Amino acid sequence: MEMTAYQRSAAKTIQPIPAGDRVAVALLGLAGEAGAVLTAYKKQLRDGPANPEFRARMREELGDVLWYLSTVAHHLDLDLDDVATANLSKISDRWRHTPADAIPFDNDLDASEQLPRHADFVFTLTRSPEDREVSVLTCNGEQVGDPITNASHIADGYCFHDIFHLSYAAVLGWSPVMRSLLKRKRRSNPRTDEAEDGGRAIAIEEGISALVFAYASRHHYLEGKNHIDNDVLDTIHGMVAHLEVGAHRAADWEKAILTGFAAWRTLRHYGGGTVRLDLTVQRLTVVERQPSAEQPPRRQRNQRG
């Protein structure tokens, strides 16, 4: 039976209510029947094989839950089939990744305007004359951007936060920050250069990195954590909805965040290292620890834009 057909038939059995809120009554009934499902399962845990009617009882209780769910939807003028379809779309966004061959946003451009498909980046940790941690990023022997401090009263390893931009590049095929630092902005298309690679997009990416870092700092920097809370992913989706990366699913963002922090924890533990980016397989790996340099850099990082 289709969901809409069930809802139509179930609506014919709704009893009139003399007074009160019909939706509230249906919601209370839904909560009560959900409790009945739990009670039936509790009895199964308690009695085990001595409870031969378990499956029949569960079918009955779940049917009652479905009836009240259908009734709530009916009173709110919602189509149960549409509710189910929307839910499947939401679940797909949350748990299914975008195919790897659809990731890059610059396949049709010259290599000079593409994010690198394969590259090794070296993070070197030094100390400033003020005895602060400073990270220097290089690629092919050339410095990428200016040296970065933690910009904090505590040495929390945020100086390595360019690893997060690299993880967005590797997993999402997107990073306005890395395009700017690597001089790979898509200037052949002025509209794309302004809207997707410009200062606003850079600020949004930096904001996402700071947001996720604050969240991670409250969760042991995601060590041993396999999933990101939905409210964080929803906030990110709202921040990037108008950008090309808005086409990515929540599952893609979760993978990018977890990939970045796995590499970040290694860099922080060893005080630097060589990170290998492979966009073709959406991988970012610390392949070699890097000893800290002895001489501190002379500059602090300029504001990006």
pLDDT tens track for 131-159? 899 999 999 999 999 999 999 999 999 99
Q: Could you tell me the CA-to-CA distances from 185 to 108, 112, 203, 209 in Å, in that order? A: 14, 9, 15, 20
- The CA-based angle 47-53-54, given to 5 degrees, is 65
* Confidence class for position 296, pLDDT limits 50, 70, 90: very low
d(CA 196, CA 187): 11
Q: pLDDT of 17-49, one tens digit each?
A: 888 899 999 999 999 999 999 999 999 999 888
Question: Which of 15-19, 165-169, 177-181, 229-233 shows the lowest per-residue confidence on average (mean pLDDT)?
Answer: 15-19
How far is residue 277's CA from residue 267's CA, in Å, rounded to a whole number? 14
Residue 300 has pLDDT above 70, yes or no: no
Question: Rounded CA gap, 203 and 210, in Å?
Answer: 11
- Structural domains in the chain, sorted by start: 3-95 (1.10.287.1080), 100-289 (no CATH)
Query: Does 302 score more than 60 pLDDT?
Result: no
Angstrom distances, CA of residue 292 to CA of 60, 130, 135: 66, 16, 9
For residue range 183-199, list pLDDT tens digits in order.
Answer: 999 999 999 999 999 99
125, 162, 146: which is closest to 273 by C-alpha? 125
297 pLDDT higher than 80: no
Q: What is the mean pLDDT of residues 226-254?
A: 96
**Strand ranges for the chain from DSSP E:** 118-127, 133-139, 142-143, 148-149, 272-278, 283-289
Instruction: Return the exposure string of 211-235: e unless at least 16 CB atoms fall within 10 Å of the residue's CB, then b.
Output: ebbebbeeeebbeeeeebeeebbee
Q: How many Cα atoms occupy the beta-carbon half-sphere of 34 within 13 Å?
A: 8
User: How far apart are the C-alpha atoms of 134 and 149, rounded to whole Å?
Assistant: 5
The pLDDT of residue 128 is above 90: no
Per-residue model confidence (pLDDT) at position 198: 97
DSSP state of 1: -
- For the chain, how far is it from start to end, CA to CA, in angstroms? 57
Q: Which of 26-35, 85-94, 203-212 has the lowest mean pLDDT?
A: 85-94
pLDDT per residue as tens digits for the range 74-83:
999 999 999 9
User: Rounded distance, CA 196 to CA 180, Å?
Assistant: 11
Chain mean position to CA 223: 16
Q: Is the CB of residue 198 less than 8 Å from the CB of residue 242?
A: no
What pLDDT does 291 receive?
A: 55
Residue 179 in this model has a pLDDT that exceeds 80: yes
For the stretch 232-239, contacts whose Cβ atoms lie closer than 8 Å and that sit 24 or more positions apart, written own/partner, are: 233/94, 235/211, 236/208, 236/211, 236/212, 239/204, 239/207, 239/208
Q: Which pLDDT value is given to residue 290?
A: 62
User: What integer is the mean pLDDT of 89-109?
Assistant: 86
Instruction: With beta carbons less than 8 A apart as the criterion, state whether 252 and 172 touch.
Output: yes
The string of DSSP codes covering 16-52 is P-SSS-HHHHHHHHHHHHHHHHHHHHHHHHHHGGG-T
Mean pLDDT estimate for the chain: 92
